[in-house]
Amino acid sequence: MTAGFSIDRAEAVLVVVDVQERLAAVMDERQKVIANCRRLVDGAAILGVPAIVTEQYPKGLGPTEEELRGALSSSSPVAKPSFSCCKEPAFMERLDALARRKIILCGMETHVCVLQTGLDLLREGFD
């Protein structure tokens, strides 16, 4: 991030990556992660920033954590088989339809799914 970088809510999208029940069950500080994601979800809702939520292999890893599921009820989850959200056409279609270029990322498995998504978004020209 560069000095003076700001996010205009009219240009932003919140992407919540794979905060799922079975993943959360084995995470250190799971409640802290979920609470921080919930703060971002609630803040985005207040500011009118749309959210996209993803689920990695939901059949095996379960749905999005209940605490977030209710707050994200206006956004049905995008199921994905790959680590990066960008490799899922449905995710990219939903993101492109919003026509916003500033991405706020949060989620679980930061070292894999969140990181790979962030790197791919940067390659695609998103901030």
Residue bearing the bigger pLDDT, 93 or 28: 93
Q: Find the range with the poorest average confidence among 31-35, 39-43, 107-111.
A: 107-111
The pTM (predicted TM-score) of the whole model is 0.92
Q: Are 85 and 43 in contact (CB under 8 A)?
A: no
| Mean pLDDT (the chain, rounded) | 92
pLDDT of 3 above 90: no
What is the arithmetic mean of pLDDT over 5-9?
A: 83
What is the arithmetic mean of pLDDT over 24-52?
A: 92
CA distance 118 to 103: 9
Q: Which of 32, 31, 12, 29 is nearest to 105 (CA)?
A: 12
Residue bearing the bigger pLDDT, 127 or 23: 127
What is the arithmetic mean of pLDDT over 19-47?
A: 91
Q: Are 69 and 41 in contact (CB under 8 A)?
A: no
pLDDT of 51 above 90: yes
- Name the residues annotated as catalytic: 18, 80, 113
Q: Give the pair of three-digit tokens for residue 114.
A: 């969140």
Q: Which DSSP letter does residue 106 get?
A: E
Quote the pLDDT of residue 1.
47
Span 54-99, pLDDT tens digits: 999 999 999 999 989 889 877 799 999 999 999 999 999 999 999 9
How distant is the alpha carbon of residue 119 from its chain centre?
A: 14
Q: Which of 103, 107, 95 is nearest to 127 (CA)?
A: 103
